[in-house]
Structure 1
Amino acid sequence: MLKKSILITTAIIFLVVAAFIGTSIYTLYSKKEISVDPKLKEISGIEFDKHQRLWAINDSGDEPKLYRLNKDGSIAKEILVTNAKNIDWEDMTQNKFGHFFLGDFGNNKNERKWLTIYKIENPIDIKGNTTEAEIIKFTYPELDGTPVTPEQRNYDLEAFVALGRHLYLFTKNRTEPFDGITNVYKVGDHAANFDAQLIDSFKTCTTMEKLCWITSAALSPDRKKLVLLDSTSIWLFENYKGDKFFSGDVSRIDLGIVTQKEAITFYDDNTIVFTDEEFKGIGGNAYFIKLDEVTKNVIRKVSNLQSADK
């Protein structure tokens, strides 16, 4: 009788786990729009130009190139940035004028002292297959040359956005023990050497670092929504004031099964596009979601807090 009970319990647990995994897979793949060209196996940043055409960059190991994608995910055009290097390109963003910014600021070991952002014209205005970039350099003033201790390893970057005349950088936390905090730094959006200014921080989660790492960021065209991407979710920030992104409403959108999600952008104010890298036949896709159609898990509602304070 006991053996039968154990078998029944095991079967129930198996069915529950199978249902959970199946639901997680459906949650992600129901949003799939296209498969990305295999040449972009390590796609790390995406952005739409003024004609709503999708551009992408690869992570380290590739040439310093941008790739324009056709609607089926194949490559339509390549542009080489002639005065750039791809040491560790990790994200791409643009300002309201359409200038693209390419973030060469991956810093896995927290050892790079000076990091680089390349600023180019909107690719739609590039007539040939090459361009030159304006070069922005920055460092962290907190680093005084001494080795970074495990609990301080929060100087890796894979996410940034442009707002006004500044760029806002969101760290990929590698602290030990992992505390789940992404820091926000600010630098100028023009060619110069900057000391990155720490302005804010936000805690995502502390369950597992690989589930909580911030790997990309994007602002909506109207600049009223910020999203941060991790392996399983999108963090949505709304109703903030100025560049105090974490001062307003916070929601989390579940993206289902864990894949190496590395790039996110807005197609319009209601539509988000994100991609994942291909790994052992999994991923390598672009996914579309509409904010008015997805479930948002509310983490904080400022209006509720203000009502409670009255």
Structure 2
Amino acid sequence: MTYKKYLICLTFISSFLSAQITLETVKLPKKIDETSGLEFFKGHFVTHNDSGGKPKLYTFTSEGDFLKSHKIKGATNIDWEELTADNNYIYICDTGNNYGTRKDLKIYKIDKDFILKDSIFISYENQKSFKRKRKNRYDAEAVASVDSVLLLFSKDRKKLSTQVYSIPKEAKSYILKPIAEFQVEALVTAADYDPISKTLALTSYTFEGDQYLYRFLNFNINDINNSKFEKYLIPAKPAQIEAIKIEDSSSFWITSEDEGDGVPRLFKTCIDF
């Protein structure tokens, strides 16, 4: 386990201000080299690998020590991209859809003993074609549990925006229509919501390799179209940040895939003006 701490400047994009950020970096086990979701669970972190990985969840500590792998019987990892949780379930999103061709998008409902209980099936109302297309609007890698629903955020390579979809948590089939859209100028990769601080957070990257964090303070799902966000440049290169977990309104845990160097990483970022 390797642990480093840096004090650096995280650029606040939305104004002329800047924030001091304590960026703590921890190397993660190679077993989770494509970490693509992050949750707190029984005092530790839980994550999974993305497309082609085994249908397993992995637990580890904030120091990067691997704890255990948990096979999810009955589940298949076609392209797991995100997970979130509420008081009763963990939700694993098999919603990766890089080329817009998938007709089997689903969200697995897992109980706190890592047993598959049910599935939520989704499709997009506006999708008329399933021809292979790199720049499509029907890839999604970010989800957050907000009150009684799941908010799914798209990864739009065409417009560099994110469409927001509200999904009930009841295990049924749903045809999704966006309830909001945010012009983020990047590709959204992760989301989380903290009900205590009412903070929503997203991460993203650009085609140039820059990584961003978006913070929505006092987020209200019933007034989502009037939501405002702050956009921060995360100075982590090389990296591909694909997961985020909120600790409080100014502290966030994020993970990055190994990005070809064989070292997946856990970061803790703290915003402090």
Aligned mates of 1:255, 1:263 — CA distance in 2? 13
- Shift of residue 98, structure 1, vs aligned partner: 4.3
Give unpaired runs (5+ residues) of structure 1.
1-21, 206-211, 296-310
Aligned mates of 1:161, 1:146 — CA distance in 2? 26
- Shift of residue 268, structure 1, vs aligned partner: 3.8
- 1:155/1:172 contact within 8 Å kept: yes
Correspondence for 1:255? 234
Of 214, 236, 256 in structure 2, the residue corresponding to residue 235 of structure 1 is 214
Matching of residue 140 in structure 1 with residue 124 in structure 2: yes
Correspondence for 1:161? 144
The Cα offsets for residues 229-271 of structure 1, whole Å up to 9 and x where unpaired, read as 0131101112333344452332112211442111111134442
Correspondence for 1:32? 24
Q: Which runs of 4+ in 1 moved over 3 A?
A: 27-30, 144-151, 243-246
Correspondence for 2:70? 79
Of 60, 65, 87 in structure 1, the residue corresponding to residue 56 of structure 2 is 65
Identity %: 26
Structure having the larger proportion of residues in strand:
2
Letter in 2 for 1:171: S
Aligned mates of 2:249, 2:71 — CA distance in 1? 30
Instruction: Output the aligned Cα RMSD.
Output: 2.5
- Shift of residue 181, structure 1, vs aligned partner: 1.3
Q: 1:29 to 1:82 in 2, by over 3 A?
A: farther
Structure having the larger proportion of residues in helix:
1
Give the alignment's TM-score, normalised by structure 2.
0.84
Of 81, 92, 98 in structure 2, the residue corresponding to residue 108 of structure 1 is 98
Matching of residue 191 in structure 1 with residue 165 in structure 2: no
How many pairs were matched up?
252
**Secondary structure of 1:180's match?**
coil
- 1:222/1:269 contact within 8 Å kept: no
Q: 1:139 to 1:28 in 2, by over 3 A?
A: farther
Aligned mates of 2:147, 2:91 — CA distance in 1? 14
The Cα offsets for residues 36-59 of structure 1, whole Å up to 9 and x where unpaired, read as 11111100001002x331111111
Aligned mates of 2:63, 2:36 — CA distance in 1? 19
Matching of residue 42 in structure 1 with residue 34 in structure 2: yes
Matching of residue 281 in structure 1 with residue 261 in structure 2: yes
- 1:113/1:139 contact within 8 Å kept: yes
Matching of residue 216 in structure 1 with residue 195 in structure 2: no
Give unpaired runs (5+ residues) of structure 2.
1-7, 11-18, 206-210
**Secondary structure of 1:66's match?**
strand
Letter in 2 for 1:251: E
- Shift of residue 146, structure 1, vs aligned partner: 5.8
Structure with max Cα Rg: 1
- 2:197/2:218 contact within 8 Å kept: no
Letter in 1 for 2:73: T
